[in-house]
Structure 1
Amino acid sequence: MNDKNPIQVSEKLFKAIELLAEKGALSLTEISNYLDLNKSTVHRILNSLIFMNYVKQEEKTLKYGLSFKLCNLASKFLAHNDMISIIHPYLIDLANKTNETVHLVERYDTMAIYIDKVETSKNSIRLYSTIGKSIPLYCSGVGKAILAEKTKEELLEIWNKSEINKITDKTITSFNEFEIKIKEAQENGYACDIEENEIGVHCVGIYIDVPNKEYAISISAPKERLDENMIKIYGKYLLEIKEKLEKELS
């Protein structure tokens, strides 16, 4: 397989968009340095993106930042996902019941993508998760919930394809330890993330059985509120929702 982008210009355009999405507004020099491109090339890229209304230049600082056009595109894209509209009321009920943040993710290769999120004003904390952001399967509650449905051979294949990083000091980077956690998820019906992605944050997730797609729902909270006892309680809540949802979707 040839990993080289056949259209080099488009690659540069999207790298500029991804950079601005990650870093926020930047100067021409900063963008040039990050992308390792000369200023004249970057200037042409930015002018093209400005022409298409994906980028705007701030009048005072002259820095370049993304417009809201990408947000509009993302909203239109998500509107075509019927599963979000079906599951969203369940997320609201779960968030109200627990007063914690609830997520819906969809699997994409070795990652899970956040496609819906419900927060409550009570007990709300700022989490890493945002709609459209990805999280590795191997070290997330939602990811392990999805992977608990796989055979050992499939697990090993996904593990070998994944970019295994020590995101926090709690992140599991050994396949043997990972397999133990998957077995626990299979026994419990739900999977956990104990500070593997964010220090101080625990997560419990369940897999939703949908034809041709792989979804999972999770509850995330500070470790003080989502201790071992509450994980069991919230795990039961999730399993109840799983049963209701799968009946509705069958």
Structure 2
Amino acid sequence: MENKNPIQVAGRLFETLELLAEKGSLGLMEISSNLNLNKSTVHRVLNSLIYMGYARQNEGNGKYEPTFKIVDMSNKIMGKVDVVNIVRPHLRALMEITKETVHFVERDGIDAVYIDKVESFTNGIQMVSRIGSRIPLYCSGVGKAIAAQLSESEVQELWERSSIVRMTPYTITDYKQFKENLEEVRRRGYALDNEENETGVRCIAAGLIDHSGKVRYAFSISAPVNRMDNDRIQELSHYILDAKEQMESELRP
């Protein structure tokens, strides 16, 4: 695969759209500065995005913002992902029995991407995660559930390619400790995120072996630490492992 985009204008279009999606609303100079492009180039890119319906210029402040067309495209893509349709009833059942938020992710390189989420509204606390957002594999429950099923060389490559950042005081930033943690995941059958990605939130997760025999997906139960002590983790582990077995039986031919 080439390291440089063979169609430069396509790269600029998507870089601009991704920036607008991340920031929400930006002026011409702000976009130019963020992308390190001159104003005339950015202006042409924005006009193209507007023409195609992916961006618009706010009449009130003159800034540029994304439209919902990209959301519509995302929803169409997600509608074609059969695995979501297969696992969603199990995710919902898991949420209903635990009264906690349940996430479902797919591995994408060194990250996991949220492709489904069943929010629990009974406790009044909503998780900041959203479908389409990414989370590093090295510091998340779902990530470690996937990484635990990789070979030693694949785990090392994952670690070396990741930008190891101490997201919280509890983030594992030592490779030896990371490997030891993965051994625990293999022994237990589930992974834990002990406030490693977000302070105040604990997760319990498991990976799913699909029809190819690989762990491409994972799911988790997330909750504030005051509802996720070790006794609660032990209780939830039974639900996680039962759900894992049920979903894997449907994902395999």
Q: Which residue of 2 aligns with 1:4?
A: 4
TM-score (normalised: structure 1): 0.96
1:205 counterpart SS class: strand
Of residues 196, 211, 216 in structure 1, which corresponds to 2:218?
Answer: 216
Do the aligned partners of residues 48 and 56 (structure 1) sit closer, same or farther apart at CA in structure 2, a change above 3 Å counting?
A: same
CA deviation digits over 1:26-74, x for unaligned, max 9?
1112111211222211111100000000001111111111000000110
Match of 2:86 in 1: 86
Tell whether 2:163 aligns with 1:133.
Answer: no
Residue 98 (structure 1) aligned with residue 98 (structure 2) = yes
Give the 5 Å matches for 1:165-244.
165-212=165-212, 214-244=216-246
Separation in 1, partners of 2:165, 2:35: 24
| Residues 1:173 and 1:95: Cα distance change in structure 2 (over 3 Å) | same
SS state at 2:132 partner = coil
Gapped runs of 5+ residues in structure 2? none
1:94-173 matched pairs, under 5 angstroms: 94-173=94-173
Which AA in structure 2 matches 1:108?
A: D
Percent identity (aligned): 49
Query: Any conservation in 2 of the 1:95–1:119 contact (CA below 8 Å)?
Result: yes
Q: Which residue of 2 aligns with 1:55?
A: 55
Give the TM-score normalised by the residue count of structure 2: 0.95
Shift in Å, 1:110: 1.2
Q: Count how many residue pairs are aligned between Structure 1 and Structure 2.
A: 250
| Kept in 2: contact 1:142–1:205 (CA 8 A) | yes
Q: Is the 8 A contact 1:100 1:124 kept in 2?
A: no
Distance, in Å, in 1 between the alignment partners of 2:76 and 2:114 is 16
Deviation at 1:169, TM superposition (A): 1.9
Q: Which moved more, 1:239-248 or 1:61-70?
A: 239-248
Amino acid at match of 1:247: S
- Name the CA distance, whole Å, in 2 between partners of 1:153 and 1:207: 19
Residue 19 of structure 1 corresponds to 19
Give structure 1 stretches of 5+ with no counterpart: none
Distance in 2, Cα, partners of 1:75 & 1:196 = 30
Give the aligned residue type for 2:141. Answer: G
Aligned-partner Cα distance in 2 for 1:112–1:207 = 12
For 1:52 and 1:105, how far apart are their aligned partners in 2?
30
Deviation at 1:2, TM superposition (A): 4.1
* 3-state SS, counterpart of residue 192 of structure 2: strand
Is the contact between residue 119 and residue 126 of structure 2 (CA under 8 Å) also seen in structure 1?
no
